Chain A
Amino acid sequence: MRRVVITGMGMVSSLGVGFKHNWESILGSQSGIRKIKNFDVNDLPAKIGGQVPEGATGDNLFYADDWVSAKDRRRMDTFIVYGLSAAQQAINDSGWLVDSDEKAWRSGVLIGSGIGGLPSIADGAVTVNQGRARKLSPFFIPASLINLVSGHVSIRNGFKGPNHAVVTACSTGAHAIGDAARIIMWDDADVMVAGGTEAAICPVGVAGFCAARALSTGFNDTPEKASRPWDKRRDGFVMGDGAGVVVLEELEHAKARGAKIYAEVVGYGMSGDAHHITAPAENGDGAYRCMSAALKRAKMTPADINYVNAHGTSTPLGDEIELGAVKRLFGHYSKAIYMSSTKSAIGHLLGAAGAVEAIFSVCAINHGVVPPTLNLDDPSNDCDIDLVPNIPKETTVKAALSNSFGFGGTNASLVFKAFS
């Protein structure tokens, strides 16, 4: 099977723009969670979120004109704008340029989203319900469709290879990277731009997750304290907006053009819970089997993994179940690993989470530091695993495992390995 490496990375989150800036902020134990101010939250039990900070170019803030013209933004909901930003960052970072038909045919895109254009859909529904169906924008459908992120990236960069999208709730980003890596392994492309994007913090989005009783509601006055995986006082996840995109490349292809290589994608595992539409299976079997499958594909054992970037959303049920599954898989090696949740800093980016966390996992490998789990002051579970409370730790990370679990009982794990 052909080998696949990461040669470019891009990120947008509540901590700002750029994966390097995000990584430094994460290591500085900063939180991007704030009170929601751009719409009325009076009727909503959850009043906080990880929204992307807008501002001027050069301050690591998001300036939309840097990525998409005002004219083009009318054709797309915000999740597409964030996705295009992260994708362009990753492509620029990789230095990959399509300048021939052959290169175009061998370059593809696979970017997903969990929710897609919910703000556009909500606005469009109001227009139609007001009896103004003829006033619905001709861009309504293409602005909302999830695969249009991949579509726009391909159009802008002339990538004419496989053009695909994933929609698997909170596992989207991990599935996108895993599936894209396989497209390269199977020789259907040499370069794949892969990841996830989300911008679902809007009245309907927050109300919907509140109705499902999924969100934290007890920290509205101290937003940065709300996302606290494994802590006793955790009471639900915090929504986050943003995007993570990587450039995946066949190893020899990357070497031949002298590309810098961040890490190798060595493992990808999937499983289904077959249990409940929103709740994870209590025995953690889905998580266990998905991590096991990823290790098997990587030809690794638990002893080879140094760091686990957990799904760890800060929900009362999910955190403990994942912890149990990791303990079961790692056995006595549990003492030897670090496991943390970067959702403690930026919230849960839903369809973008797996991709953003893949990038943090790769950064941990590259920098020899594991990122912290913020607000883990009083662990609810006495365990052997070092959950990296509040401050990062320096350690050698030769290989990292990243978990993502989604509504519908869909699980994905990725394994990244240092490239030498």
Chain B
Amino acid sequence: MSDVADRVKKIVIEHLGVDEEKVVESANFIEDLGADSLDTVELVMAFEEEFGCEIPDDAAENISTIKNAIDFIETQQG
């Protein structure tokens, strides 16, 4: 597992207070991990802080799963 994936999952576990087993790459923040719309905004902000990047609102709208987040951040860093 990539370093980015580990860090993304750690943030999700901390912010949503969910069990580690549930935080798989296909997990949808809202449907699978019990997040609401405000949680997803906060998650995106936490990703920005952790990875020192900016995630524009239109890109953030497309980040609904762990995998979406990892892919976006890896693209930015690549």
Q: Are A71 and B17 in contact (CB under 8 A)?
A: yes
Q: How far is the CA of A74 from the CA of B16 in the complex (A)?
A: 10
B38 x A71 contact (CB < 8 A):
no
Residues on B lying within 8 angstroms of A by beta carbon are: 15-17, 38-39, 41-42, 45, 49
Contact indicator B42/A137 (Cβ below 8 Å): yes
Residue pair B45, A135 in contact (C-beta under 8 Å): yes
User: Which residues of chain A are within 8 angstroms of B45 by Cβ–Cβ distance?
Assistant: 134-135, 137-138
| Residues of A near any B CB (own CB < 8 A) | 69-71, 74-75, 134-135, 137-139, 142
Interface centre among B16, B39, B49 (most CB of A within 10 A): B39
What residue in chain B is nearest A136 (Cβ atoms)?
B45
| List of A residues within 8 angstroms of B41 by Cβ | 138
Closest CB in chain A relative to B19 CB, distance in Å: 12
B17 → chain A closest CB, angstroms: 4
In the bound complex, do residue B17 and residue A139 qualify as a contact, i.e. CB atoms below 8 Å apart?
no
Contact A69 B42 (CB under 8 A): no
Asked if residues A139 and B42 are in contact (CB atoms below 8 Å), the reply is yes
* Residue pair B17, A138 in contact (C-beta under 8 Å): no
A69 with B38: CB separation less than 8 A = no
Which residue from chain B places its CB closest to the CB of A139 in the assembled complex?
A: B38
Cross-chain contact of A70 among B17, B38, B39, B49 (Cβ < 8 A)? B17
Distance, CA A138 to CA B16, complexed state (A): 14
Q: Which residues of B are found within 8 Å of A74, using beta-carbon distances?
A: 15, 42
List 14 A-B residue pairs with CB atoms under 8 Å apart, sorted by A's residue number.
A70-B17, A71-B16, A71-B17, A74-B42, A75-B38, A135-B49, A137-B42, A137-B45, A138-B38, A138-B39, A138-B41, A138-B42, A139-B38, A139-B42
- The docked-state distance in angstroms from the alpha carbon of A71 to that of B49 is 19
Say how far B50's CB is from chain A's closest CB, in angstroms: 13
Alpha-carbon gap, A69 to B42, bound state (A): 17
CB distance from B54 to the nearest CB of A (A): 8
Minimum-distance CB pairs A-B, first 8: A71-B17, A138-B41, A138-B38, A138-B42, A139-B38, A137-B42, A69-B17, A135-B45
